[in-house]
Every structure is written in C-alpha cells, then in structure tokens.
Amino acid sequence: MASSSSASLLAPLSSCPRSWKHHVFPTFHGADVRTNFLSHIIKELKSKAIDLFVDDDMERSKLIGPELVEAIRGSRIAIVLLSRNYASSTWCLNELVEIIKCREGFGQTVMPLFYEVDPTDVKKQTGDFGKVFRKTRKGKASEDIQRWKCALTEVAQITGYHSTNWKSEAEMIEDIVTDVSNKLNLSAPSSDFVSLVGMESKMKEMRRLLQLDSNEVRKIGIWGPPGIGKTTIARSLFNRHSQDFQLSVFIDNIKTKYAIPASSDDYSVKLYLQRQLMSQLTNETCISISHLGVVKDRLKDKKVLVVLDDVDHLVQLEAMAKETYWFGPGSRIIITTQDQRVLKASGINHIYKVNLPSNDEALQMFCMYAFDQKYPKDGFKELACEVRRRLVGELPLGLKVMGSNFQGMSEQDWTEALPRLRFHLDRDGEIASILKFSYDSLNDEDKILFLYIACFFSGERFNMVERCLEKCFKDVRQGLRVLYEKSLISADSIWIKMPKLLVRLGRQIVRKESVSEPGKRQFLNDANDIGEVLSDDKAASFEIGIFIAVLERTFERLSNLQFIRILGRGVNPLSMNYVSQKLKVLIWPMFPMSCFPPRFNPEFLVVLHMTNSSREKLWEENKLLKVRGFSGQHQLGIYYTSQPLRLLFVEKLSCESLERLDLSFRNPDIRINFRNCFKLNEEARDLIIHTPTNQYAVFPAEEVPMCFTYRSSGSSLTLKLNQMPLGKSTKFKACIIFASNALTACYKPVKGISPGHLYTFEVEVETEDVTSNELVFEFEYELESYNSRRWKIVIKECGILPLLEPSDKEI
C-alpha cells in the first residue's frame, strides 16, 4: 500500500496543466464541515461563477487516484479546510501532500482555513489535532508519515483564515469568497497587452533581467521619460507572471497618489507607505504597522512580486523595498521611474532603459489608436504621417492620446483640428498635464535649461550646447546630467535630444510667459510671433530666434539676440551687419552671399554652421575670425589673401580648398576634423600632429608621416622600452590609417569612417607595473551596422609618437 501511495503522490509535475480546468479544489474532512461551514462556502463561490471540483461521486479510499491528482493539478486555487479531524483521513493527508507539491512546483495558490483548530497545533501536530494525527499514523510507512508531517507544517505557515478572528461565520465566508474571487481575477490570463506594438520584444528583454528561474531576490528598474510606456511594460509583466508568486501587488502612480509632503519626517512617511504595501499585498484594509520591521517579518519567507510604479523619491523605495532580504527566495521587485538617481541611490544595478520606438513602430502605434489597425485607412496616410511626424514624434503617450483624439473623425475633421493642435499638445490637456508634472519637479535653473533645449538646442552637439550656455548657468554640465537622469533628454557623448512632445511642452510654456506680447518672451520659435515682433517698433528682449524672413535693418533693435537659426531664403544677408555683438550661435543653411558683410564681426561666436552655402571666403578684406566652435560642410570653401585663418576652437572644418593653418593656441582641448581637405600642405599636417592640446584629429594621408617615431604596417606595433625613458605613466600621440577596402564588407557607407585619412589621438600608458621590456600596441576598430551585425574595420598602418613632459621639453 505504501509503495502504491508513494507512486501516486510522486507523479512528475511536468505533466501539470497550465490551462486550469477548475477554479478551486477544496480538501476537507466531510464529517466535520460538509453539511455546515463548507456548504455555505460552496454556495457563495458558485454564486460568483467560481467553478469548484466536487468529488461527491468519487468513492473514497485510503489512496488518491489519477483522477483526483489531475483535479488538484488542474485547479488554480486549493482551499485546505483544516478542522479537528482533518488528520484522521489518509485521503485528506495525501491530498494535502499533492497540493503542497503543486504549490512549490508551479505556484498553485493555497488558502488554508483553520476551522476551530489552532494553526500551531497543525504545524507541530499537537493538541486535539495532534492526537488525531498520532492515531492515524500508527502502522503507516515512515516515508508517508514524514511527507504528511512536512505538508502539515508547510500549510500551517501560509497566511490564511482563522475562524476565531471573525465575529460570525457569515462574515468569514464573505471575506474568503471575496479573496478567492480577487485572486482569480488577478491570475486570469490577460490579452490586454498582446496586440501592443513592440511589446513582445520588450518582454523578452525584461525576462532576461528578471531571471525568473533564479531563487535570488532581485530588484529591477524600468527607467525612461514620462509617457514612454514604463507602466505599460510593468503591467504586462505583472499580468503574465503574478500567478507564479505566492503574493503579488501592483502599486500604481506612487508619485501622485503618495506624494511626499515637504514638511513630513521620513519615519512617518515610511510607516504610511509600508501600511499601503502590506494592505494591498495581503488584502487587509485595516492593517496596523507600528514599526518598520513588519514587512521583513511578514514577507521574509514569501515569494512575492511587487511592482512600485512611478517612484520619484528614494524614501518610497526605502519604505517598501529597501533590502532584498525582506523578501523570500525567488521574489522580484520591479520599480518604474523617470529618475535614474533613485535607482542608483537604492543600489539597483539591473535597469531596463525604455527607448523611443522606431518611426515605423510609432506610426503603427498611432494607427492602432486612430484606426484600430496598424496602418492608415485609405485616404488618411498623409494626414496620419503628418500628425505622427510633426506633432507627436515617437512618445507612446502622445501616440495613444492623439490617435484616440482622431478616432472616428473624417478627413475634413482631421484637417480642421490640425492648426489648433500645432499650438496645444492635445485637445483635452492629458498629455500636457502628465509631462508638465516632470517639468514642475525641476528647480528654477534646471527649468530654464530645459527651455533652452526645447526651444533651440534639441538635436545639437553636447559640447556645443555646453560651451554656448556655460556663462548662463553655474554648472551647465550638471544641469544637463539632471535632465538626462530625469529622462527629459537623451544624451550620448555627442548629441543631446529631447522627445518632440517635450519640445512642444517647453515651447508652450515659453509662449504662456506672454501670450499677447511675444517680444517679452525669452525665446521665439514661431514665425508668426517673430513677424509680429519685427513689425513692432518696440525693443524686444528675446535671446533665441528662428527666422524665415527679415529686412536689412531688422536685427538692429534686437540687442539681446544670442542664438539665431535662419530657415528659408527670405532673410536679407546684409541684416548680419546689424546683429548683436552678443551673438553666440549662427545657423544659416544656404547662406546666399559669397562672403560675410563687412560689419559682421561677432566677438563671442561659439558656433557658425552654414551648410550648402555660397560662401567662397570669409570677408573681402583680411580679418581674424574668433570662433570658439566651428561646424561646416563639404561645400564651404575658404580662400586666403595675405594672412592665414586663425581658428580658436575648431570642431569640424571640411574645406577642400584649405591649404595653410596657423593654430596659434595652447590652452583649449580641441578636436580637429579636416576630412577631405586634400590640399593641406605638409607644414599644416605637422602642425596638427604636434599641437599639444589636440585630443583628436583627422586629415587626408596615404601613409603614416615620418614625424611618428614608430611606424608599422597593419594594426600592431611594438615599442622597445630600452629605446626611451619611462615615468609612472607615459603619453603617446597615436595614429591609424584605414585601408581603402576597409568598408567593403558593409552594405552602406559608414558615417565618420574615411579610408585614405589619418586619425590621430592621445594614448596614456600606465608603466609603473610593467615587467616586460617592450610595449605592444594593438589597434582595433569595430562598428555595428544597421542590421546589428558587428564589423571589424581593416587598419592599413599605425604609428606612435612619444609625447615629452614639459620638464623634458625645457631641457
């Protein structure tokens, strides 16, 4: 008998169904509860459309057969009704063993009901319950007895219902049935997020971070700008995986619902937040939290899934999920936030950065909300593309709200709605209210920096923005870091970008500074507003302007104008004679004159960007152009008369006709790009190489110049240490030349990689711990192509030039 019992109970769990056959499986001792307490529970459960496995027609024996095992494994919830004589039945005990096995094997929910019996007596098999068990175990196989004891101990430690805690059985039954219903609702398979564009790929990436098969307790951050879909990703994860945990909770919109009062003390805030967590996690509305150890005490042995959505203060995390040891093995804590600093301060290393969707995905998202399909309806393609591209950008919140706004509209309705939406983020203000919450959380200086980027600098180079605004802020780099960590901009080492809807928010905020008098605003972006200001005789104080058409003397009274972008061909180029001496940035594609007008000579210029212009020289006469940052394109040519051009902060200068240089500076660290300047003479090339502040340079060259002390073919070079003295560290100027066929393996040209050009850069070697008598330099360059394949670029030659320390130079 023992062997057959063991065979039945130890059937492999791999055969357990994942599509549930029953909602609830009840295990009970019939003589104790069938006609009273249990009958009422069954009636209430059925009244709420909850399906139970009923074994009335089964012939009970000492063993549970395959049909019963299948019923247990096919039930989402197992109710264990523990009464005084429950342990008198080996049938009940064997059912319990199978239930505990299913709980541990695939997360079946187990709800113990202690009916007129103490949980401690069940756990330790003592009292009246223990007497019954000891009688049952007589003559049974020791392995069966041990299994029963383990199952009773395990079930007694699961949070359940104790009949002595309720005034009446009716109230207890009502609470039990409500709890069962809620658990079933939470565990019901969801298709809410199945059709969302790009969600499956996000789930795949998130599961790699979650490591759900691991028993470690792991905290995971989901980080990104407001409206990008962090909450949606977290909800999708929760819906898919909450049933695999003993307890689970999704606490949404913490930033708004549980905002931290400025005058509150941390301890009170933490007690309050812990009470919210435990109340929602255990479904106890009147739970009492007297100290901060309650979470750890209640959850340290529970496998839980906790989602803390939209966290914006560290104290929120410290209250609800400070330490991983507060939770049982296998627990997962997911935090969504737009503030990276909260995650870093909490020591969370597993972070999923939510990026904007691609253009194609963004259009599909918009169409799903506007047309209930992933592509525009007939006749709406141009309108849908215009709204998506010009008004919304790629932010999912905007795509959802704007798409829903247009749902069911005719083409004429769309056309009539567009002009108003160009000035307002959305019809009902939903987008603006969500995004502005993030702007309002900034301090005053960071708010101003946000507006600078929204109105002018989104899409510009990081170092250009830093130099342009360094005099306007105490620490512009720190301000940019704050905006990045709060997900209001994206930034790499080169570019700063802001989502289009945040750009529109910033410009809308500036517009509201003075709706009726545009000239009083700090920045102007709209052509109509600029036209109104320029037609007025009053002086205007704005710093930023984007111009489409102006007359010759238009800029004369705009004394504070520092940042200019010219669009179109309606601006008189002679107007540059009257531009403010404060000018820092001039961006004018297709500048129509062959040279600057004579009175244009800015003293504080940082960026001069004139792509596709007609310029052939700077001025008719010789002048020194002081440019702190210079950006240009292939068509820009500079010719010289008697004096060479001095450039005081060259960033990029592609001039096919450039021959001579005078880099007369020593202090600023510079990066020089002379790509395609094939006429550079040898003196100019040597000057570029030997410029001590030159961090990086590019210019045409077919071979490594002789001034490099050590040269080699290929990508490797060995330097004998006995050939030169070494300090604790030694700096070198290094160079590489790409082979002419370096990019033949790629399917399209790669920006920034030019065969037939010399690339120079500095290398510092820590030589203090070097034990060999030689240094080996290995140069390697890889890039990732459009199809995510990595390509190694072929290096034709390389070179090394030791850089002497100042003391060595003096000697």
How many structural domains is the chain composed of? 6
Which pLDDT belongs to residue 239? 85
Residue 303 lies in a domain: yes
Report the CATH number at residue 39: 3.40.50.10140
CATH number of the structural domain spanning residue 493: 1.10.10
Give the list of residues 6+ apart from residue 769 with CB closer than 8 angstroms, or none: none
* Residue 636 forms part of a structural domain: yes
DSSP string, 209-258: HH-TT--S-EEEEEE--TTSSHHHHHHHHHHHHGGGSSEEEEE--HHHHT
Position 199 scores a pLDDT of 87
491, 602: one domain: no
177 in the same domain as 121: yes
- Which amino acid is residue 205, in one-letter code? E
Q: How do residues 375-412 score in pLDDT, each as one tens digit?
A: 999 889 989 998 888 888 888 988 988 888 889 899 89
- Distance (Å, whole) CA 594 – CA 620: 9
User: So what's the pLDDT on residue 642?
Assistant: 27
User: Catalytic residue at 95?
Assistant: yes
Rounded to 10°, the helix 90-106/142-156 angle is 60
Residue 348: phi and psi, rounded to 5, are -85, 120
Q: Is residue 705 part of a domain?
A: no
Q: Is residue 674 part of a domain?
A: yes
For position 624, what pLDDT does the model report? Answer: 53
Domain boundary among 646, 665, 700: 700
Q: Is 504 in contact with 358 (CB distance < 8 Å)?
A: no
Which residues are within 8 A (CB) of 792 and not within 5 positions of it... i.e. 6 or more apart? 780, 781, 782
182 and 197 part of one domain? no
Can you tell me the distance from the alpha carbon of 185 to that of 177, in angstroms, rounded to the nearest whole number?
Answer: 12
Look at the chain and count its residues.
Answer: 811
Q: Give the pairing type, strands 563-571 and 544-550.
A: parallel
According to the 3-state scheme, what is the secondary structure of 511-538?
HCCCCCCHHHCCEECCHHHHHHHHCCCC
Same domain, 539 and 687: yes
Q: Contact, 238 vs 248, CB < 8 A?
A: yes
Residue 736's domain comprises 710-810
The verdict on residue 408 lying in a domain is yes
Query: Last residue of a domain, which of 330, 353, 376?
Result: 353
Catalytic residue among 44, 95, 98, 394: 95
Q: Are residues 389 and 251 in the same domain?
A: no
CA distance 519 to 538: 8
Q: What angle do CA 223, 256, 321 make, to 5 degrees?
A: 55
pLDDT in the model for residue 115? 92
d(CA 37, CA 39): 6
Residue 168 inside a domain? The answer is: yes
* Beta-bridge partner residues of 673: 698
Residue 195 lies in a domain: yes
Closest by CA position to 796, among listed 729, 739, 721, 724: 739
Neighbours of 773 (CB within 10 A): 8
Same domain for 522 and 445, yes or no, is: no
pLDDT score of 636 = 27
Regarding whether 397 and 346 lie in a shared domain, the answer is no
What pLDDT shows up at residue 638?
Answer: 30
Q: Give the CATH number, domain containing residue 216.
A: 3.40.50.300
Query: Using an 8 Å Cβ cutoff, are 332 and 212 in contact?
Result: yes
Q: Does residue 661 contact residue 684 with C-beta atoms inside 8 Å?
A: yes
Query: What is the per-residue pLDDT for 744?
Result: 44
Tell me which of 428, 453, 476 is where a domain ends.
428
Taking the C-alpha atoms of residue 531 and residue 538, their distance in angstroms, rounded to an integer, is 13
Tally Cβ neighbours within 10 Å of residue 581. 10
Q: CA-CA distance, 223 to 233, in Å (whole number)? A: 11
Q: What is the pLDDT of residue 338?
A: 92
Residues 345 and 384 in one domain: no
Q: What is the pLDDT of residue 665?
A: 43
- The pLDDT value recorded for residue 769 is 61
Query: What's the pLDDT at 192?
Result: 59
Mean pLDDT, contiguous 10-residue spans, the chain (811 residues) = 35 50 91 89 90 69 72 91 93 93 86 94 94 93 94 92 88 90 74 73 90 92 92 91 87 88 81 88 78 86 92 91 91 94 92 91 91 90 88 88 89 87 78 87 94 91 83 90 91 83 91 86 83 73 77 82 85 88 84 83 76 66 53 30 32 47 52 72 80 74 89 89 66 86 47 76 74 82 56 85 57 30
Is the overall model pTM greater than 0.75, yes or no?
no
Bridge partners, 77 (sequence order): 24, 109
The pLDDT value given to residue 94 = 92
Residues 437 and 451 in one domain: yes
Start-to-end C-alpha separation, the chain = 99
Considering the domain architecture, whether residues 82 and 194 belong to the same structural domain is answered as no
- Calpha distance 501→432 (Å, rounded): 9
* DSSP annotation string for 367-434: HHHHHSSSSPPTT-HHHHHHIIIIIITT-HHHHHHHHHHHTT--HHHHHHHHHHHTTSS-SSSHHHHH
- Secondary structure class of 568 (helix, strand, coil): strand
Whole-angstrom Cα distance, residue 262 to residue 569?
53
199 falls within a domain: yes
Handedness of CA 738, 740, 743, 748 (dihedral sign): positive
Pairing assessment for the beta strands 495-497 and 490-491 based on DSSP bridges:
antiparallel
Same domain, 99 and 182: yes
Question: Same domain, yes or no, for 592 and 641?
Answer: yes
